[in-house]
Amino acid sequence: MSYTIGLVGKPSVGKSSFFNAATMNDVPEGAYPFTTIDPSVGEAYVGVDCPAPEFEETCEPNHGFCREGTRFVPVKLVDVAGLIPGAHEGKGLGNQFLSDLNEADVLVHVVDFSGETDIEGEPTEGHDPREDIDFLENELDQWYLDILEKGIEKFESMYQGPNPGDEVGVEEVLAEQMSAFRTNKDEIKQVVLSLDLELAPETWDDENRFDLAREIRKRTKPMVIAANKMDTPAARGNYEAITSDPEYEHLTVVPASAHAEGSLKKADEAGVVDYTPGDDDFEIVGDVSDEQARGLETIREFVAEYGGTGVQAVIEAALFDELDAKAVFPGSASGSWSKGPFRDCFVLPDHATAEDFAYTLHSDIGDGFLHGIDCRSGRQVGADSVLEHRDVVEIVTTG
């Protein structure tokens, strides 16, 4: 499977700049799995320490690229436009918008930490980015609430069979209504019980319903905040205020500068600098004017302080911290490496087993699964063994 990250945020926060910086990569032609003419869909990458050197092998990715020992594995990035204040009331919620949002496994909320855009995206000064965070969460919650309410109505109007045991549980009806969010009745039940509520909607007041919607949203649409424009003077204060505010403690906030990432990638492409996405430094390798040199030194200070431009860190936090996804490589344990260099890498859900991995490779491989082999230790792994991030696994089949 491939993951989809949805980029959300009000206008003028730097969403396009972030999208362009994250998807602008020097990838060999034809290596894009998401061939598309839609400008709001692009390919970003998560970096994984490449295991090929450990096995004295080369890395020749079928998708993505490998640079300086980091394997960059594709993920789909979708720029979800239209999440503006009042969107759930119908101002901006078009069908495209809803399907983009539904498709996203995880969201990146790009927030302007400079405080120089107001809630509508107009220029201002001293705007508190917390308002943007609240507004977006609220929009999403309202949207979930609308669908939850529809599910409750449906449940309440249902005919419950005459015999005990015939009843349909509310969790089943709600899960069906909210199926686009990829939830299920067990999860709905868990959420209801975790809020100390009964599985009986007639006992839920408005606040309970909102809390339910919010909790389901949090579980099904995890989110990372990209604290953008951290290169501006005002951003630092806002970042400190928000990251030390207990009310926002539950959020993953990653400091970022889409500008810095865009500039470094452009300079790298032009042969002026040698920059690997995600690194906290770069080398100037071409001729630069005094002005360019000054600009690059400012960026150098920024990446040294924040451990990078943050763009790559945001994408990786979304996949590896919020979703707990892991990258697994197919390998050969025979030692002969008859299969050649490292080519594929798959990003799998946190609980993925050896058998799940086999099915990801091919349904025939899944069907014929005998056991896996951990290529580092040579040990056998059973169908239900949960794999680890950066595992290299050979699948042995009956065929």
Residue 309 CB, shortest distance to ligand GTP, in Å, is: 8
What are the DSSP E strand ranges found in the chain?
4-8, 41-49, 65-67, 70-79, 106-112, 223-228, 252-255, 273-274, 283-284, 326-330, 346-348, 369-374, 380-381, 392-397
Coil vs helix vs strand at 356: helix
Site map (CB under 6 A) of ligand GTP, residues 143-172, x = contact: ------------------------------
Q: CA 227, CA 391: separation in Å to the nearest integer?
A: 32
Q: How far is the CB of 321 from ligand GTP (least distance, A)?
A: 21
Cα–Cα distances in angstroms (integers) from residue 276 to residues 46, 82, 206, 282, 346, in the given order: 12, 32, 50, 7, 21
Residue closest to ligand GTP when measured from CB atoms: 14
- Which is nearer to ligand GTP, 233 or 246 (by Cβ)? 233
Which residue in the set 8, 15, 25, 70 belongs to the binding site for ligand GTP (CB under 6 A)?
15
Shortest spacing between CB 228 and ligand GTP, in angstroms: 5
The 93-132 contact track toward ligand GTP, x by CB under 6 A, reads: ----------------------------x-----------
Shortest distance, position 79 Cβ to ligand GTP, whole Å: 8
Phi, psi of 380 (to 5 degrees): -75, 145
Minimum distance of ligand GTP from residue 17's CB (angstroms): 3
C-beta closer to ligand GTP: residue 93 or 395: 93
Task: Provide long-range contacts, Cβ within 8 A and 24+ apart, for 116-123.
Answer: 116/229, 116/232, 116/234, 117/10, 117/11, 117/12, 117/13, 119/10, 119/85, 120/10, 120/11, 120/84, 120/85, 121/10, 121/11, 121/12, 121/13, 121/84, 122/12, 123/12
Q: Pick the stretch among 8-16, 26-34, 155-163, 325-333 that binds ligand GTP (CB under 6 A).
A: 8-16
The distance of closest approach from Cβ of residue 297 to ligand GTP in the complex, given in angstroms and rounded to an integer, is 16
Binding part of the chain for ligand GTP, among 28-36, 192-200, 226-234, 329-337 by CB under 6 A, reads: 226-234
Could you tell me the CA-to-CA distances from 309 to 278, 286, 300, 312, 317 in Å, in that order? Answer: 7, 21, 9, 7, 14
Considering only the stretches 13-21, 25-33, 196-204, 206-214, report the one whose residues sit in contact with ligand GTP under the rule CB under 6 A.
Answer: 13-21
Residues 229-258 within binding reach of ligand GTP (CB under 6 A): 229, 231-232, 257-258
Min dist CB 42 to ligand GTP, Å, is: 13
Q: Which spans of this chain sit near ligand GTP (rule: CB under 6 A)?
A: 9, 11-17, 121, 228-229, 231-232, 257-259
